[in-house]
Chain A
């Protein structure tokens, strides 16, 4: 596609429920990244994919968080047993192998856990 697409744009869920956030990167971009932006905070790295593999998962906050990427394209970030502190904007970005031109970010999914 022309840009990075994320869905849903907004998600309200009850504490304890599981949620899935989807990212559709720019066609041909081999690298895909997930970041989290809490209210008034900077961007916190979660995980990145090169193709379908995730060389760096160091940013996932707990084992309730997982992510996968299939076909070198779409990625899903899953949060199990959501907690109120998971409320944030989850941003996805993609880039060609040479990051040097910067990432292209999606508009994010605003997750609210009530």
Chain B
């Protein structure tokens, strides 16, 4: 069965601190995709990144970086030098080949509060 666990319900940091959001997933498929989405207070989900199961290279995009480790079934997200605008709920999600990648299973989200 597919499952995504985000154990951190809420994280509070002060601006300019680095913060890592954890994501652990379960799947029986060898082919799958992992995603991160951001949900700001406005409510709309914003796509951040997709990673396929065959590519374990870490990725960096500006202040954002992602660490994918199949050995620990984790896909963690780090924000460097956090800013107030980073305050949002962040969701990790999984999509498997056995559903034709047509269903995203989401974690329960991590609420990030960045204070000035």
1/0 contact string of A26-49 vs chain B (CB within 8 Å): 000001010100000111010010
Check A89 for interface membership: any CB of B closer than 8 A.
yes
Asked if A55 and B44 make an inter-chain contact with CB atoms under 8 angstroms apart, the answer reads: no
Give chain A residues whose Cβ lies under 8 Å from the Cβ of B52: 100
Interface residues on chain A, size class: 20 to 34
User: Taking CB as reference atom, which chain A residue is nearest B107?
Assistant: A42
Asked if A42 and B109 make an inter-chain contact with CB atoms under 8 angstroms apart, the answer reads: yes
Using a Cβ–Cβ cut-off of 8 Å, how many residues does chain B contribute to the interface with A?
Answer: 24
CA gap between A104 and B52 in the complex, in Å: 18
Asked if A102 and B47 make an inter-chain contact with CB atoms under 8 angstroms apart, the answer reads: yes
Given contacts A42-B91, A56-B99, A100-B33, are A89 and B108 in contact (CB under 8 A)? no
Check A25 for interface membership: any CB of B closer than 8 A.
no
Binding site for A on B (CB under 8 A): 33, 35, 37, 42-47, 50, 52, 91, 93, 95, 99, 101-109
11 A-B contacts (beta carbon < 8 Å): A41-B108, A42-B91, A42-B107, A42-B108, A42-B109, A43-B45, A48-B102, A56-B103, A99-B101, A102-B35, A108-B43
